[in-house]
């Protein structure tokens, strides 16, 4: 089948996986303070390496990343042979690789210029969210993304705090309406989450041809809500599937998400026939390619498209018998059923053995980093206030 496309993650955060999973208001109370202490060029490299091998083993052939030091993520992607859209974060407060949003934009432009001709890497801007950036910076990124012809990834319509702060900034507008009104919505934008959207917001997403990354595990685990994806699909919006970061979901292969996507939307619609398996599989492949505006190259096995292919083991006990391949994939499969992974015509995993990376040394390095986390932020208890 076509390789899976993970339309939203923060790969390097694998080194923080299973930390403080259920802290309320976790992004502001835990993750931002943790990142201000622990994010470094080295951490980004170690975490990205771990994420890359996890995704290859789970059948992800293209992923979309938003983080810091994306040039470091790019080096790991280049080396291991994956395909990726890598967005350098822009945020208004000081972070590890920029003192403010202007420096973040400058970092992103340098990164984009460095990687714009890479055959497997699409460099991009990643403004964190509307409420963590100013109107001026969001407009500047929109303009630069047109000039440089690169994507813009952003968390959009995700949280109560975002809605409140944007309403305050605009006299009551929704985040999607605000983005449209400031000229920051267009076909370069990939919006992660889009949970808190009404009919009008969805019409704007369609009108501006925005891609949406649906992250069901992260959204249910954080209790933020269920994005109205069945309505989005009816409206013809480009919806793909993502995992969100490994502190949120907590695994990185979208194959593990299919089950929940199918079931939660049935429950949400109180309709057993809603979100059938073929629709879920399409969301993980062609839908995700469409969300990235890359459907001419990715998402299906067709002549003329790039050779990103995975082979699923149909003889694993949990896959036998297979009357319907779509139902088997959605209700029965998991990442460990992927047997071979091919990107750009090159085998990256054969019979579950990685061919372009040393799994043991990558895991050992991640465990060493976790020991530093244990000795510092965990031992001192200094992160959660
Ligand atoms: Zn995210």
DSSP 106-117: HHHHHHHHHHTT
- Give residue 258's pLDDT: 98
Q: Collapse the DSSP code of 1 into the 3-class scheme (helix H, G, I; strand E, B; otherwise coil) and give the result.
A: coil
Angle, helix 41-57 to helix 359-373, in steps of 10 degrees: 130
In the predicted model, residues of the chain with pLDDT beneath 70 are 384-385
What's the CA-to-centroid distance between 154 and ligand 1, angstroms?
A: 8
**pLDDT of 379:** 85
* Residues facing residue 156 across a β-bridge: 193
Query: 303 CA to middle of ligand 1, Å?
Result: 33
Dist. CA 190 → ligand 1 center (Å)? 12
> According to the model, what pLDDT value does residue 385 have?
46
Q: 190 and 211 in contact (C-beta within 8 Å)?
A: yes
Residue 192 β-bridge partners: 155, 213
Nearest-angstrom CA–CA distance, 197 and 201: 5
**From the CA of 58, how far away is ligand 1's center (Å)?**
19
- Specify the pLDDT at position 384: 60
* Token output for 77: 């992607």
Whether omega before 202 lies within 30 degrees of 0, making that bond cis, reads no
CB hemisphere CA count around 99 (13 angstroms): 0
349 alpha carbon – ligand 1 mean position (Å): 27
Tokens read off for 4: 């899976």
Q: What's the gap in Å between 290 CA and the centre of ligand 1?
A: 19
The secondary structure element, H or E, covering residue 350 is strand 346-350
Ligand 1 centre distance from Cα of residue 71 (Å): 19
Q: Average model confidence (pLDDT) for the chain? A: 97
- Cα(329) to centroid of ligand 1, in Å? 25
**Distance from C-alpha of 286 to C-alpha of 293, rounded to nearest angstrom:** 10
Residues 6+ apart with CB under 8 A from 230: 265, 268, 269, 274, 275
Q: How far does residue 325's CA lie from ligand 1's centre (Å)?
A: 30
Give 155 Cα–ligand 1 centroid separation in angstroms. 6
CB neighbour list of residue 139: distance below 8 Å, 6 or more residues apart: 182, 183, 184
Beta bridge partners of 9: 65
User: What pLDDT is recorded for position 224?
Assistant: 95
Length, in residues, of the chain: 385
- The DSSP code sequence of 196-254 is S--HHHHHHHHHTT-EEEE-HHHHHHTT-----HHHHHHTT-EEEE----TTTSS---G
pLDDT at 378 (0 to 100): 85
pTM > 0.85: yes or no: yes
Residue entry with tokens 């029965």: 332
Which token pair is 161? Answer: 């705090």
Distance 315 CA to ligand 1 centre (A): 35
Strands 60-67 and 83-90: parallel
């Amino acid at each position: 089948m076509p390789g899976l496309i993970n339309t939203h993650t923060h790969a390097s955060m694998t080194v923080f996986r299973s930390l403080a999973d259920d802290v309320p208001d976790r992004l502001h109370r835990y993750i931002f303070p943790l990142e201000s202490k622990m994010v470094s060029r080295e951490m980004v490299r170690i975490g990205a390496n771990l994420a890359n091998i996890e995704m290859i083993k789970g059948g992800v052939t293209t992923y979309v990343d938003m983080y810091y030091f994306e040039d470091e993520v790019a080096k790991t992607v280049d080396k291991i042979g994956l395909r990726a859209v890598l967005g350098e974060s822009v945020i208004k407060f000081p972070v590890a690789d920029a003192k403010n949003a202007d420096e973040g934009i400058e970092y992103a432009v340098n990164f984009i210029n460095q990687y714009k001709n890479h055959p497997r890497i699409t460099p991009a801007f990643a403004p964190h969210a509307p409420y963590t950036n100013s109107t001026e910076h969001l407009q500047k990124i929109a303009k630069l993304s047109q000039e440089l012809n690169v994507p813009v990834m952003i968390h959009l319509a995700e949280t109560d705090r975002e809605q409140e702060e944007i309403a305050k900034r605009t006299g009551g507008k929704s985040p999607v309406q605000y983005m449209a009104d400031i000229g920051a919505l267009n076909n370069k934008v990939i919006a992660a989450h889009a949970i808190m959207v009404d009919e009008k917001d969805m019409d704007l997403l369609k009108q501006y041809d925005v891609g949406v990354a649906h992250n069901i595990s992260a959204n249910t685990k954080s209790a933020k809500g269920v994005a109205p994806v069945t309505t989005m699909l009816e409206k013809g919006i480009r919806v793909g599937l993502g995992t969100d970061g490994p502190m949120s979901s907590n695994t990185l292969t979208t194959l593990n998400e299919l089950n929940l996507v199918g079931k939660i939307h049935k429950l949400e619609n109180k309709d057993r026939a809603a979100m059938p398996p073929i629709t879920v599989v399409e969301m993980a492949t062609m839908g995700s390619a469409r969300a990235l505006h890359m459907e001419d190259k990715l998402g299906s096995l067709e002549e003329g498209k790039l050779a990103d292919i995975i082979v699923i083991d149909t003889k694993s006990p949990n896959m036998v018998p297979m009357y319907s391949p779509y139902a088997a994939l959605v209700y029965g499969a998991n990442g460990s059923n992927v047997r071979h992974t091919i990107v750009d015509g090159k085998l990256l995993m054969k019979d579950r053995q990685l061919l372009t990376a040393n799994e043991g040394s990558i895991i050992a390095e991640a465990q060493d980093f976790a020991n530093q986390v244990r000795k510092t932020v965990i031992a001192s208890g200094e992160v959660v206030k």
